[in-house]
Chains A and B, each alone.
Chain A
Amino acid sequence: MAKTILAIDDSTSIRQMVAFTLKSAGYTVIEAADGKEGLAKASANAGALNLVLTDQNMPVMDGLTLIKTLRGLPQFTTIPILMLTTESSDDMKMQGKAAGATGWLVKPFDPHKLLEVVKKVIG
């Protein structure tokens, strides 16, 4: 059975590119346009979800807030969460780590590298 990934990004083109890359490798992808929508879709698919891939700078709810909120819910304490963002400062990475992120990928992403990391994290 294909593993399910929740891809959250406010940029439609990035979201489509991520979904395209992951679907090409056989993953099922659920898309969300901001942290709040991501949180709703994560809750709705809690049992089936294998990985959350989120941007940082988004309207309504940013990536770090989403991670903190998800980590506060019992069903998401162990699910891998990867940040995929243009932010590359050490300070932001430390904040991500403290919030509970599993890894940090800086845009622009290389599809091969993305798949490699996803495979490493969820197989």
Chain B
Amino acid sequence: MTNYTRLAIICALLSGIVLGASALYLNNMFAYLANALAFLIMLGCVIYLHNLAGASRQTADHADSSTHSGEKFIHESSAFHMQLGNEIAEQLSSAHTELGNTQAILSDAIGKLVSNFILISDGVRDLSAHTNDFSKQIREVATKVNASLAAAEQSSGNIAADDRAAALESNQHVRSIMAELNALNEAVASNAIDLNLISSNVEQNVLVVISTLQFQDMSSQLIEHARMRMTALQEVANEMGKGGGKPSNHEYLERIAAYNRLLDKHVVSLDKQKANPVAQKDFGTGDVELF
């Protein structure tokens, strides 16, 4: 019961006594009735005021409770944002480092692979060129020997009249050497064909390797692209992680607005810097356009 209600009840009782006394003093029926009616109206007002005071108190209690729960909600949200910010920042930092390490390892491995590939490829090319030279020289020598043997066969025919047995033996010897030489010649020709085939396969594989290695470059660009965005997110997460304490409603809304502003700033900055540089959809080679 409020002080106002108590005062109203006391006033009502006093006015009742005053009205009753005045009615007795006047000794008039109408005055009795009028005073009784005035007392009842005053009592009604007192009851109404009492009820109104009770309702106001309930509303005030409720408002007080809402204010407390609102503050609690803001504090809990702020703490949650801080925790979330710290967790995201930590995870992003870890992923950022891992991606960086992966990129470094990949680049190093590809660098070594490319160097070795160029060395081997140059070696194979030199070997192929040298072998072709040797084959050519062998064939030239074989042709010369063949011509010499033909001349020897001719000579042995000429001396056949003088010493038939010696000539026959010499002739057989020459034919045998010629057969061996032909076999050698065929082997060299066959080797040259094999060598050309190997050389052609190597060249084909070189093309595949060149195309494949270019995907490392694209992977690096994609990783760098992802890392750039992760850095921006990390900064926002770090800002979130710095929040804390028990901010007021206004301070809390200010913080949220600041996170949004920071995020927007990064989005605009990143969009200005670079769009996704890799738009390839398959492993095929790219287009060529001359202006």
Contact = CB atoms under 8 A, between A and B. Distances in A.
B277 A20 contact: no
Interface in B211-226: 211, 213-218, 220-221
Given A57-B221, A57-B277, A87-B277, A120 B210 contact: no
Contacts of B113: 13
A93 B289 contact: yes
Interface string B253-291: 000000000000000000000100111100101111111
B211 A86 contact: no
B185 interface: no
Contacts of B125: 24
Given A11-B217, A57-B221, A103-B289, A110 B207 contact: yes
Nearest to B215: A108
B207 A112 contact: yes
Given A103-B288, A107-B218, A111-B210, A13 B110 contact: yes
A40 interface: no
Interface string B113-125: 1110010010001
Contacts of A24: 125
B111 interface: yes
A33 B283 CA distance: 25
17 contacts: A12-B114, A13-B114, A13-B214, A16-B115, A20-B121, A21-B210, A86-B221, A88-B280, A88-B287, A104-B289, A107-B214, A107-B217, A107-B218, A109-B285, A109-B286, A111-B210, A113-B288
A68 interface: no
Contact of A13 (B217, B274, B277, B290): B217
Contacts of A121: 290
Interface in A7-64: 9, 11-14, 16-17, 20-21, 24, 56-57
A17 B114 contact: yes
Interface string A74-117: 00000000000011110001001100011111111111110001
Nearest to A91: B275
B202 to A, nearest CB: 12
Interface of A: 9, 11-14, 16-17, 20-21, 24, 56-57, 86-89, 93, 96-97, 101-113, 117, 120-121
Contacts of A13: 107, 110-111, 113-114, 213-214, 216-217
A86 B287 contact: no
Given A16-B114, A86-B277, A111-B207, A102 B214 contact: no
A21 B252 CA distance: 61
Contact of B210 (A20, A101, A102, A106): A20
A17 B285 contact: no
Contacts of A12: 107, 111, 114
A75 B271 CA distance: 35
B287 A106 contact: yes
A48 to B, nearest CB: 24
A89 to B, nearest CB: 7
Given A88-B286, A96-B291, 19 more contacts: A9-B217, A13-B110, A16-B115, A17-B214, A20-B121, A57-B277, A86-B218, A86-B280, A101-B291, A103-B289, A106-B280, A108-B218, A108-B285, A108-B286, A109-B210, A109-B211, A109-B214, A109-B286, A111-B206
Nearest to B278: A86
A97 B214 contact: no
A28 to B, nearest CB: 16
A57 B287 CA distance: 18
A93 B206 CA distance: 29
Contact of A86 (B217, B285, B289): B217
Nearest to A20: B118
A93 B279 CA distance: 14
